[in-house]
Structure 1
Amino acid sequence: MIGPTVIARRIGTEQQPIAIVDGFHPDPDALRGHAASLSFTAGRNHYPGIRAPLPDDYFRQVRVPLMAVLREVFGAARIDLLDASYAIVTTPPAQLESTQRLPHVDATEAGRIALVHYLSPEGGDGTAFFRHRTTGFERVDAGRAPDYYARLNAELVEHGPPPPAYIDRSTPLFERVATVEARYNRAVIYRSALLHSGAIAAGAPLSPDPATGRLTVTAFLATA
C-alpha cells in the first residue's frame, strides 16, 4: 500500500504555510461506511450544515502523517485536540447568514491549526483562501482582529451584505489567493487564522446523505 504524500506550500503575499496530504487515512472507505451509520445533527458555531462524531480511533489512524506535518510545516512540539467531527455542508445559498457568505477565520489565538479531510469519492469543492482587499490581511490574528473587523463592518454597512452564495472566488471585498482542490482521502492543514471558506460552487448539490453529500472531517488543534 502506498503511504501518505505530503505537499507543503506557501500561499498569498504573506506566504503562510499550508500542507496537503493525499492518502491521509489508511481506510477512507471504512470512514464513509461509519458515517453512513450515524445520525447527524445541526452544526455549531455558524457551520452551514450538519455534524456527527468520529470513530474513537480516527486520530490514531492518521497520527503519523498528521504529527509529521505539524512538526515539520508548522513547527509544533505539543498538540492538543480541541474539536473534531464529520461534517456535511447542507445549507442552501438562499438561507445563508451574512457571515456565512464571507471568508472567515476559525480562531485568532496563536498556535491554532485547522484540518479538513475530504471524504467524497467524486472530489468536488475544496477550500479557498482569501486576502481582504482593504487591509491586505490574509491572516487575522488577535493583534489584527480589531482593525480587520472594524473595516469589514464599515464596508458591509456602506455596500450592503454579500449576495446569498458561498464565496468561492474573488469579490469586491476579497481576493482569492489560493484554492486546494478536494480529492478523495486528501487533507488540507492550515493555520486557523487564515481567511478561508469552503469553495462551494453555485448550484452544487448539498445533500445531507453521507453517501452523496460533501462529507469531510473537520478538526481544530492547539499547538505549541
Structure 2
Amino acid sequence: MTAPEIVARRIGAERQPIAIVDHFHPDPDGLRAAAAHAAFEPGRNHYPGVRAALPDNYFARIRPALTTVLAGVFAHRGAVSLIDASFSMVTLPPERLSRTQRLPHIDALAPDRIALVHYLSPHDSDGTAFFRHRATGFETIDSARSAQYLAALNAEMAARGDAPTGYITSSTPLFERISQVDARYNRCVLYRSALLHSGAIAPDAALSDDPARGRLTVTAFLSIA
C-alpha cells in the first residue's frame, strides 16, 4: 500500500488553500467494485449527473489522510462533521446544461465548509477548475459578498446574453480561471466550499452512467466548525 502524498497550494489573489492528495484511499479498486453494484439516482441541487451511497467504511479508510490534510493545510484540529457524501458521476451532455450548470458555482457560503472530490476513473483527467469573477474580483463568495456578486453577475448576463454552451473549463469574458487540478486515479482535492469552481469536463468527455466507463468520483462536504 502506497502512503498518501499531500501537496498544498494557495491559489489566486485571495491565496485560498487547496490540498491535493495522491494515493488517497488504500483500496481504490475496491471502491470501483462497490460502485459497480451501487444504485445510482439523479443528483440533487443542480448536480449534472447521478449519485449513489458509499460503502459504510469509506471515511474510516481515509481518516488518517483526511486528518493530516485538515490540520496541515486548513489549520483545523477539532471535530469534523459530515454533511453529505456519495459516489458521483457527471452524465449530462453539454448541450443540455442549464445556465447555472454552465457557470462556476460555490457549494456553501460558510468559511468552515470543506469540499472533497476523490477521482476514481483510471483513464479520466477531467479534474476541477477554480475561477475569479472578473467584474468583482471575487474568488470566494461568502454571506457578505453574495448579494453584490449575484447582482453583478445577473447584470452581466442580461447585457451580454446567456452563458456559453458546455461545461466551463477555461477563462471566459466573465470569469478568469485561476487554477486547475487534473484528475488522476485515486487523487483527491480538498478546498473551501465558498471557492468559485467547476468540474473541468472536456467537450468530448465520455459522460457514461456506467461506473466502469464514466467519470466516477466521490464527492463530500464537511464542516470543520
Q: TM-score, normalised by structure 1?
A: 0.98
What SS class does the counterpart of residue 62 from structure 1 fall into? helix
Specify the alignment match of 2:110 in structure 1.
Answer: 109
Within 5 Å, give how 1:34-183 maps onto structure 2.
Answer: 34-76=34-76, 77-183=78-184
What SS class does the counterpart of residue 30 from structure 1 fall into? helix
Amino acid at match of 1:207: S
What SS class does the counterpart of residue 115 from structure 1 fall into? strand
Question: Would the aligned equivalents of 2:39 and 2:53 in 1 still touch at CA under 8 Å?
Answer: no
2:124 & 2:22 partners in 1: Cα distance? 12
Specify the alignment match of 1:26 in structure 2.
Answer: 26
- CA offset digits 1:90-130 (Å, max 9, x no partner): 00011100000000000001200000000000132000000
Q: How many Å apart are 1:186 and its aligned residue?
A: 0.2
Which stretches in structure 2 are left out of the alignment for 5+ residues? none
Specify the alignment match of 1:191 in structure 2.
Answer: 192
Q: How many Å apart are 1:157 and its aligned residue?
A: 1.0
1:205 & 1:116 partners in 2: Cα distance? 19
- CA offset digits 1:44-91 (Å, max 9, x no partner): 000000000000000000000101111221122221000000000000
1:99 & 1:47 partners in 2: Cα distance? 10
Deviates more, 1:45-54 or 1:152-161: 152-161
2:215 & 2:196 partners in 1: Cα distance? 21
Aligned residues: 224
1:167 & 1:123 partners in 2: Cα distance? 17
2:4 & 2:220 partners in 1: Cα distance? 18
Q: How many Å apart are 1:164 and its aligned residue?
A: 1.7
Q: How many Å apart are 1:3 and its aligned residue?
A: 0.4
Q: How many Å apart are 1:160 and its aligned residue?
A: 1.2
What SS class does the counterpart of residue 68 from structure 2 fall into? helix
**Percent identity over paired residues:** 62
Specify the alignment match of 1:205 in structure 2.
Answer: 206
Amino acid at match of 1:175: E
Q: How many Å apart are 1:2 and its aligned residue?
A: 2.0
1:217 aligned onto 2:205? no
Amino acid at match of 2:34: H
1:196 & 1:185 partners in 2: Cα distance? 20
Which stretches in structure 1 are left out of the alignment for 5+ residues? none
2:201 & 2:222 partners in 1: Cα distance? 24
